[in-house]
Structures are given as C-alpha cells and as structure tokens.
Amino acid sequence: MEKKTECEIVQDLLFSYVDDVLNTESKKLVEKHLTECQKCQEKLIEIQNEKNQQEQNQKTQIDYLKKIRRKNKIKSFLWAILILGILFASWYLYKFSIIYKITRKVEEQFVGENFYIEEISNCEDDSLFYNKTWYKDGKFKVVSYRQKEEEIMQMPTRYGNMRENPRELYFVYENLKEVRKEIFIDEGKKEDVISANSTFLSNARKEEFGKYYMLMKLGEPFYVKISTDHKNIGRLYYVFDFGESKKWVDMNTGLPIMSFGATSSTEYYGTTKIPKSHFESISEYHYEFETVTDEDVQMPSFEGYKFTEYDQQEELNRLLEQYPNPNK
C-alpha cells in the first residue's frame, strides 16, 4: 500500500478545514502546507466555491419554499375571508329577506279600507287593557278600557275622519257627557295604523325619515334574532327577538300575534338588588278585514254633551307670543 503524500493528506483534510471541524494541530498543519503549495490552494478555493454554491442553492430553495408558504398563507387567509364573507352575506340576506317579506305582507293586509284591530295587554295591577280600532273608508273609532275582574274603567272613545278632517280627533267621554275636539298640527294618516302594526320600519314612514330611511332598513337585520316556533298557536310563526322584547309574527299575514316585554319593571327588597317581583308586559293581537260597517265608525250625535275645543297650532302660537325666542 503506497504511502500518501503530504498534498493528498492535506487535500483529504480540506473539506473538514472548510467546515472548521479540525483540531488545532491538524488545522495548523493544513494552513502551513497551504502557504507552500499552490496546487492545494487551488483545491481549497475549488472546495470553498462548491460549498458557497451549495449554500446558495440551499438558500434559494429555502427562500422559494418560504415564498410558496407565504403565498399559501395569503391564499388561505383570502379563502377564509371569502368564506366568512359568503357566510355573513347568507346570514344577512336570509334575515333581510324575512324582514322585507314580513313588512310587505303587513302593507298588503292594509291595502283595503276596511279592518278591525284588537290589542289586549296586561297591566301591573293584574288588569287587562283593551284597545279596539274600527276603520272604514277613512273613518275610524277607537275604544279603550281597562278591566279587572268585573270592574271596567272606560276611557274616552275616539272618532276621526282621515279623509275629510285629517287633523281633527274627537274624544267622547260617555259617562261625563262631554266631547273634546282636538285639532292637531300634523294630519292623521292611514299609514300611521300600518306603522303601529308593523314589526319593522314600514314604507309608510319613508317620508318621515327621509335619507336615513334606507340606512335604517339596511341596519334592521343586525339588531334582531329570528327563529320559528309553533307553541300555543298550532302553526308556525316567526319569533323576532330584540333583546329586551320579543314579538310573535304570523308567517302568512306578517301581522303580530303576541308581543312580550315592550314595557317591564322590577321591584326589589329594600336597597338590595334582590328582585321581589317582576312585571313584563304581554300583548295579544286580533285582526279582521272587510267586517266593519258604516254604523261601527259613525260619529254619534253630541246633543246634550258639553263641547270643548283645543287647537294645537293656536296653543303653540299663544306660547310663542308669551315666551318669545330670545335669539331672534
């Protein structure tokens, strides 16, 4: 076996020398030889170039993989945004379509000029409050009273004619034989009845809210939870949960069936936060269409009644004269 020359020994050690893994003595040997041998110096340069090239290739591969990974992360993020956007749009359009459909149905119910509305609500004193409205061809009558067991507390019956005298309203106190005619600044409209029986903002109030109307309509799906139920009714209805209040709405007519929590109050023990009793209002609604007769809305004769009149505009003018605006 031939004995290796010094150059061969050094060249075998050059790879370890470049990687800086030689011990001190071997490293000195290599460096001493390199100062004297041109051939080994060239070999060293060749090995260093190969190593630099390998490192550069590895860096290029790593950078490429990082770039691919970064692109994949961006793609994943964009896909996540897209999926969330689709889910949000589906959630929003689902709720918006239900609200739109319900609002349209309510307006369709009141296209005619003949309807009866009855609202029954509970009161804190365990009595029931009844509010009944008859409407026919612009004329209307509203009867309100509270009932506790056999006791009935009658409130003034209201009469009006939205077509002929839209600003006038008559309050008839049957027990006192008195009539109070009130002339309002704003005209009464049939649309007011529609709005009062619509769970959401109806088109009847578009003029009232002007440029903000569409923004308010678009915002409605955000503050209500929508579900369906059938308990106590025997058929499916929508449940609109507004947080502090709820309303059951007929799927077919869009009209409310019951509402809960429109008003509430809690009584506590002394200065504590321990509830002693809690009251939550519950209202029940009934509707009839094309059943009201002329007699139902006919204003009675006021013969023998004490008659008084109150004009809001005249009262406002009087107050302005009495208390003029100091800024003018």
Q: Give residue 2's pLDDT band: very low, low, confident or very high (50, 70, 90).
A: very low
Contact 281, 121 (CB under 8 A): yes
pLDDT reported for residue 3: 45
* Closest-CA residue to 202 (of 105, 292, 287, 136): 105
Task: Report percent pLDDT > 90 for the chain.
Answer: 46
Q: Give residue 326's pLDDT band: very low, low, confident or very high (50, 70, 90).
A: low
Contact 186, 202 (CB under 8 A): no
Q: Identify the H or E element spanning 251.
A: none
Taking the alpha carbons at both ends of the chain, their separation in whole angstroms is 122
Tokens representing 247 are: 């309303």
Residue 1 has pLDDT above 50, yes or no: no
Find residue 287's DSSP bridge partners. 117
pLDDT reported for residue 115: 94
pLDDT reported for residue 122: 93
Contact 249, 199 (CB under 8 A): yes
Contact 106, 254 (CB under 8 A): yes
Please report the beta strands in the chain, taking only residues with DSSP state E, as ranges in sequence order.
114-122, 128-136, 139-148, 151-154, 157-161, 165-173, 178-183, 225-229, 237-241, 246-250, 256-268, 275-289, 306-311
In the DSSP assignment, the letter for residue 4 is P
Mean pLDDT computed over 231-259 = 91
10-19, 71-80, 211-220 — which is least confidently predicted? 10-19
DSSP per residue, 108-174: HHTSSSEEEEEEEEE-TTS-EEEEEEEEETTEEEEEEEEEETTEEEE--EEEEETTTEEEEEEEEET
Q: Identify the H or E element spanning 184.
A: none
Q: Give residue 328's pLDDT band: very low, low, confident or very high (50, 70, 90).
A: low
Radius of gyration of the chain, Cα coordinates, nearest whole angstrom: 43
Mean pLDDT computed over 17-28 = 79
pLDDT reported for residue 258: 93
Q: Which domains does the chain have, with CATH numbers?
A: 104-322 (2.50.20.10)
pTM of the model: 0.74
* Closest-CA residue to 241 (of 260, 264, 216, 263): 260
Residue 121 has pLDDT above 80, yes or no: yes
